[in-house]
Chains A and B, each alone.
Chain A
Amino acid sequence: MLHQLRFERMLFRRNPSAAFFNFVLPLVLLLLVASVFADEHDELEILIPGIAGMSVMATTFTALAFNMTFLREQGILKRIHGMPIRARDYLGGVIGSAVINAVVQVVLVFAIGKLAYGVDLPDEPGAVVVYAIVGVAAFAALGVAFSHSIPNFDAAGAYTNAVFLPMIFISGVFYSSDELPAALEVIGNALPLKHVIDGLAGDASGAGLAVIAAWGVAGAILAVRYFRWD
């Protein structure tokens, strides 16, 4: 697994556009939106964990859905299937690489929030770490599962954005989800991202964690059940 993980890190470094979308784009969004609310500290306290949650989803769900679709379409998964590596070691390496990206990104977002905008870290860092771990694992599993429904690499952008964009709008990335219409709030509450963001904001709840975990388990089951090498 470590062997694969090291290789995946090299692949990531070799792909500047992936690095850009993973790291730079969320940070640019953060800076843009934060500049609008620069004087409103309350809004910034919502925005920083919101962007952190969005980054978790972008670096795991979106990146893995893209990546797996590419690997399958190129026949790279098929080649690997004929070689002596266990599926769990292979996927562990691929997912582990995405998890590293997610952790780096969350740390970056909180660091910028603290240093540039004076947004304090949540009171209970332990709870934040738990949420980050469960959230990252759930979105990684969902990303692999979702890749099975993407017919080809050209469609990957449309498919992932069809999930990603609505989700960030109803999960309180840019504004508090309390301001949403009731129907959308219900949907947002059923989805995992809002709870990841709440957790990263230090607003932890057992129910929220359970929702994330349930999505994660469902994602893992679907990811394994419908896994295709080609």
Chain B
Amino acid sequence: MLRGVPEAAIEVHDLQKHYGDVEAVRGLSFRVERGEVLGLLGPNGAGKTTTVEILEGYRDRTAGEVSVLGHDPADAPLELRRRVGIVLQSAGFYPRVTVTEALRHFAGYYPEPRDADETIALVGLQDSADVRVNRLSGGQRRRLDLALALVGDPELVFLDEPTTGFDPAARRTAWDVIRRLRELGKTVLLTTHYLDEAQELSDRVAIVKDGRIVAEGPPRELIGVKAPYRITYELDGRRTEHETDDPTALLNRLTSEALDRGERLENLHVTRPSLEEVYLDLTREAE
């Protein structure tokens, strides 16, 4: 840790993880500031889950430096686990206990847990509070996952694809919960392959591809840097496309030239690519 630099919630420097000959993570570096929501975005197999599971203390790393709330997660210290909440991509439940019983039990692991009923309400499970877990739907279980991650009232929350398998209503609830976590000043590391989710929830997005970060920044900037405005139109049935950083000037030139020639630009559009296009561009590049 550098002196004078405020300690980040998560610091990762040149993280590497090899499974035999397979290099799952090849030199990842990033920081997550306290109170920040960072979205790790990338296709399946990019190394997101491996990275997160190293930070959560589930996996050893091959090389690199990692600090989570000032601890090395490889030691899995109790003190760290008290301050962290984890939503794994898949983790099981005791099938024969109710939602409330599960919350009460796991709350007992933490020194200052959040109230069980309040946590259940937070994730919108209050109507199923007395239902046994094996009778919950897939979406309800995912909400329970989220509730169990929050019951310890953690400072830092890891969310590994938290809304996969959610119906749209459940997704919106989860998004509201994550936004609320940010309002409460919690730090969140979110992995997702839903672009809208990363764009909607993250202060910053890091795009991971083949075990490396290929782009990083606030979603708006990421779109701005990588992708200029795009102007498309059809002329005599032929589609034409221009890219520009200054759409006002280009549009002015194109339309005045067309007017001078007495032509009509059909189907004229000025668009800005979504994060999705940036992402697809970036993740396609290396192939």
Contacts and interface: CB of A to CB of B under 8 A. Distances in A.
Interface of A: 3, 7, 10-11, 14-15, 71, 73-76, 78-79, 81-86, 229-230
Contacts of A81: 57-58, 76
A11 B57 contact: no
Nearest to A85: B109
Contacts of B91: 75-76, 78-79
B96 A82 contact: no
13 contacts: A10-B101, A73-B92, A76-B91, A78-B58, A78-B91, A79-B86, A79-B93, A81-B58, A82-B86, A82-B88, A84-B110, A85-B109, A229-B58
A11 B92 contact: no
Given A10-B97, A75-B90, A229-B58, A84 B105 contact: no
Given A11-B96, A81-B57, 16 more contacts: A3-B105, A11-B97, A73-B92, A75-B88, A75-B92, A76-B94, A78-B91, A79-B88, A82-B58, A82-B84, A83-B106, A84-B81, A84-B82, A84-B110, A86-B78, A230-B58
Given A83-B81, A86-B78, A14 B96 contact: yes
Nearest to B86: A82
A75 B109 CA distance: 18
A72 B81 CA distance: 20
A17 to B, nearest CB: 11
Contacts of B82: 84
Give the 7 A-B residue pairs with the shortest CB-CB distance, closest first. A74-B92, A75-B92, A14-B96, A79-B91, A84-B81, A82-B86, A76-B92
Interface residues of chain B: helix, strand, loop or mixed (majority): loop
Contacts of B88: 75, 78-79, 82
B39 interface: no
Interface string B102-144: 0001101110000000000000000000000000000000000
B96 A83 contact: no
A137 B183 CA distance: 50
A15 B96 CA distance: 7
B155 interface: no
A113 B124 CA distance: 54
A76 B152 contact: no
Given A74-B92, A84-B81, A14 B97 contact: yes
A108 B234 CA distance: 89
Contacts of A86: 78
A85 B108 CA distance: 9
B92 A83 contact: no
A181 B97 CA distance: 49
B148 interface: yes
A82 B56 contact: yes
Nearest to A16: B96
Given A3-B108, A7-B105, A85-B109, A79 B97 contact: no
